[in-house]
Amino acid sequence: MDNRYAIILAAGQGKRMKSSKPKVLHTVCGKPMVSHVVDQVQAANFAQTAVVVGHEGAEVQKVLGDEVSFVWQNERLGTGHAVKQAKPLLGDKKGTTLVISADTPMISAVTMQDLSDHHEHSGAKATVLTARVDDPTGLGRVIRDPETGEVQKIVEHKDASAKERGISEINTATYCIDNEALFSALQEVTNDNAQEEYYLPDVIEILKARGEKISAWETPDAAEALGINDRVALADAEKTMQRRINEYWMKQGVTFVDPDHTYVSVDTELGADTTIYPGTMLRGQTVIGEGCEIGPHSDITDSRVVDFTTIKQSTVSASVIGEHVHIGPFAHIRPDSSIAQGAKVGNFVEIKNTEVGKGSKANHLSYIGDAELGEDVNLGCGAITVNYDGKEKHVTTIEDGAFIGCNANLVAPVTIGQNSFVAAGSTITDDVPGESLSIARARQTNKDGYLKEK
């Protein structure tokens, strides 16, 4: 919207997290909580977004990149002071400003839009996002006029009367405020309190004292109001968001055998008729195609898996897996690998920076690093590419139809020609021509009676 703006508060240290990392960079379902908030603000089409940074602000900037504008709160003097830092960027704008904390990753773009719509239609100068919770202990209560529904006041738990403590509607600390009124009222906010800080909620009281209308809009999903201040709340948010993600994909035609023990990042995409087994973790920007079987206990990160592929009890990182591929159990596909259609990678096989051609297979106990395998290549049990000379990595090329016997060592750089055969136990240091048999092992010698003589 052309006249809607957002200020995201991300300057705090979050001491209760007991972490050297800024609170807002702790992840929920694979993404820093500040990134969740920024993504939803952008999905809600706000015209401009300012992120207020302070503690380890350079790290927050690094994570968000050029997605938003940044303003600095060099001294952490309260939420009102933090919002005031955005005045050079937004102070001359007309319209509505959403003020939201970066530690509320559950809030959705729909809620942001609905809150803004209600605010503008109500004619209020400020609107508070509220939620109803079963146990509001310790949270600020929203006291409404019983006739108009307008906000009379927001009272903190410690200051609330017994009657007020019985109210279950709480202040989520997310607000929509007329932009001009916001920066005007901030000029009157003082730090005359025990903490000597400038508090954003004082803006509501100032506008109320001016006779302005203060409204409230209640989110239908109280989980959206979850703010994260410690590791317990972080785990609660993880669980809640994970349930939301898994339920979404189940409604798109994905089977979760045990959704309570399956972990899918917010940026992962899943195809219909895929089955995800328990203990599986799908991280980052992973894409799983249709009709796949993943797990149990597979760990896939930033990878693309094409249709009708099975990955059992294996790890895949930053790689592309073709259709009708079978991987595992206990395989490890390391970054920059590509496994083509119909290939098989079996138990205890490790592949790194390698292209595996269509229909090729390595079924047991192999290491394949820095290699190029053609189509229909067979690597026997224990076959490895010897890719590192102590200083540099070298490439092994295995052409179409080659057969590598058990426990063969291919010392790179080396090329195994098309339809050639490397005998079991060989250590290959020179290129093997196509259609050839290569044997590189010592002749067997038996010494009869040797042990009896000993």
- Which residues fall in the annotated binding site for UDP-N-acetyl-alpha-D-glucosamine? 9-12, 23, 73, 78-79, 140, 156, 171, 229, 334, 352, 367, 378
Contact 99, 9 (CB under 8 A): yes
- Cis? peptide before 146, omega within 30° of 0: no
Give the C-alpha distances (Å, rounded to integers) separating 75 from 71, 166, 225, 253, 327.
12, 37, 27, 50, 53
| Annotation marks residue 364 as catalytic | yes
CA distance linking residue 270 with residue 276, whole number of Å:
10
**Total length of the chain:** 454
Give CA–CA dist 353/243, Å, rounded. Answer: 35
> d(Cα 127, Cα 236) in Å, to the nearest integer?
27
Contact present, 185 and 95 (Cβ < 8 Å): no
Candidates 118, 157, 261, 364; catalytic one: 364
Which residues are part of a known binding site for acetyl-CoA? 387-388, 424, 441
Residue of 50, 42, 47, 55 lying closest to 83 (CA atoms) = 50
Show binding-site residues for Mg(2+).
Answer: 103, 229
- Number of Cβ atoms within 10 Å of the Cβ of 328: 23
- Between CA 412 and CA 429 the distance in angstroms is 7
Q: Which residues pair with 4 in a beta bridge?
A: 96
Annotate 221-271 with DSSP letters as a single string.
-GGGG----SHHHHHHHHHHHHHHHHHHHHHTT-EES-GGG-EE-TT-EE-
Angle at 33 between CA 185 and CA 55, to 5 degrees: 60
Q: Extract the annotated binding site.
A: 9-12, 23, 73, 78-79, 103, 140, 156, 171, 229, 334, 352, 367, 378, 387-388, 424, 441
The residues assigned a catalytic role are: 364
